[in-house]
Amino acid sequence: MHGLSLAMATENVTLTFTIAVASGACAIKIMQGYSVRSIIWPLGVKWPSGSTYVVSMAPNAEDLVTLFFDGSKYYGAAGKNYQ
């Protein structure tokens, strides 16, 4: 599994995925600052219950998102607002 830390900065973030491997997993740690920002996920990501994941919108919140790619689709799971 690969890891990535994403600290929000001055604007909202739109993610784009480039397929580099046949399959695999990646964890993304999302850290909000004092100015809260949102993330727009690629349309192809499948989330539990079919609802797109919305990051925690509290200042200084930390979320952890795990993405699994099976060779054709991305599956996402997330934990919100770690304290």
Per-residue confidence (pLDDT) for residue 9, from 0 to 100: 59
Give the model's pLDDT for residue 3: 61
Rg of the chain over all Cα atoms, to the nearest angstrom: 13
How confident is the model at residue 71, as a pLDDT? 87
What's residue 64's pLDDT? 94
CB count in 10 Å sphere of residue 32? 20
Q: What pLDDT score was predicted for residue 12?
A: 85
**Whole-number pLDDT of residue 68:** 93
d(CA 34, CA 71): 37
- Distance, first Cα to last Cα, the chain: 24
Q: Name the 3-class secondary structure at 57.
A: coil
Look at residue 47 and tell me whether its pLDDT is greater than 80: yes
Residue 41: CB atoms within 10 A of its CB come to 20
Q: What residue segments make up the domains of the chain, in order of their start?
A: 2-82
